[in-house]
Amino acid sequence: MTETPPTLTPIEVQRFADIASRLTANVTSVVLGKPQVVTLALAGLFAEGHLLLEDVPGVGKTTLARAIAASVRGEWRRIQFTPDLLPSDVTGVTIFNQATRQFEFHGGPIFANIVVADEINRASPKTQSALLEVMEERGVTVDGRRHAVPRPFLVVATQNPVEMDGTYRLPEAQLDRFLMKLSIGYPDEQVEVQVLKGAAAGRSPDYLGAVTDTETVSAMIRLTHRVFIADPLYAYAVRLAAATREHKQVRVGVSPRGVIALSRAAQAYALMQGRPYVVPEDIKALVEPVFAHRLLLAPDATMRGVTPTEVLRGVLESVPTPAPARS
């Protein structure tokens, strides 16, 4: 029988919400006009998940990752994925030191708090698998020795939805390991004017002040595990996933891992809103970013132009929303 985690105190909830709010404001000062994307990205950080950003170049994917890293005094690295990139280029290698007559491990760029895996679909499946193994295990094994990555650890992988030549499509089993799939999109006219003014004035994540540190973020991650989820909401999440598996336009629905991801993301999202418990609106807000990339549509649905977003909106309408009572 699993132990029930201790209830969050009002002070813990308020402190978490205050820091999360300041982090969001700090990041949105350089990632302009996309507050919901920033909120979801931070929820992914607090839920110890990883993000897949599918967008065209130049809309701020790297800026988002750099801004989060600067805001938490974390180290960030960028890996440009290419067809000739080797797994050791990501994870690191063991080199013989002639001075000490011993083998020494030299960690690769994956050893950072925030890692941008740029154009992950351009690397070979072998290299993709090496990265995804680190994401899952939060460590690498080289020559029989395990090396843990820093905590907190967030991978922001990007892929271009337009240029598909010379790419290796991520299999569904690997996509399932990303907590969320987000799209930043183009800014509207007013925001783009502000972006231009900011670029001219030298606004950049390089000059962004820190709001907190990585130790505090690690403590905040532990707090999210204590957010209360009522049994009807657990059942609601399961029913939503089951509805995708039974949907006539879906060939492969959401896995149990996807349901776990939804509940973890909902815990972090609720605490960011200043609540020690999850409500149905949290789950509804997260269904699309958490579930959409886990759906494999039927061939006829794909030919008709049906999208996972449309399927999920139909699922949300068809599954009754519970009204849980807090205990």
CATH number at residue 100: 3.40.50.300
Question: Residue 61: its pLDDT value, please?
Answer: 84
Provide the pLDDT for residue 235. Answer: 95
Tell me the pLDDT of the chain averaged across its residues: 88
Cα–Cα distances in angstroms (integers) from residue 3 to residues 6, 13, 225, 256, in the given order = 9, 21, 12, 22
What pLDDT does 318 receive?
93
Q: Count up the domains in the chain and report the number.
A: 1
Report the pLDDT averaged over residues 257-269: 96
pLDDT given at position 47? 95
As a whole number, mean pLDDT of residues 287-296 equals 93
Task: Answer yes or no: is 277 within a domain.
Answer: no
Instruction: Please report which confidence band the pLDDT of residue 200 belongs to, taking 50, 70 and 90 as the band edges.
Output: low
pTM: 0.90
In a domain, 66, yes or no: yes
- pLDDT at residue 327 tops 70: no
* CA atoms 291, 220, 108, 141: torsion sign: negative
Quote the percentage of the chain above a pLDDT of 70.
95
Question: Is 259 inside any structural domain?
Answer: no
- In a domain? residue 151: yes
Q: Is residue 159 part of a domain?
A: yes
Of the listed ranges 15-24, 131-140, 306-315, the least confidently predicted one is 131-140
Query: What's the CA gap between 303 and 129, in Å, rounded?
Result: 30
**68-93: average pLDDT:** 90
Domain extent for 165: 50-178
Q: Phi and psi for 99 in degrees, rounded to 5?
A: -70, -45
Q: What digits encode the pLDDT tens for the residues 27-40?
A: 998 888 889 999 99
**What average pLDDT does this structure show over 222-245?**
95
Instruction: Quote the percentage of the chain above a pLDDT of 90.
Output: 51
Confidence of residue 218 (pLDDT cuts 50, 70, 90): very high
Could you tell me which residues come within 8 angstroms of residue 53 by beta carbon, excluding any fewer than 6 positions away?
Answer: 61, 64, 156, 157, 158, 159, 181, 182, 183, 184
- How high is the pLDDT of residue 165? 67
- Tell whether the model's pLDDT for residue 164 goes beyond 70: no
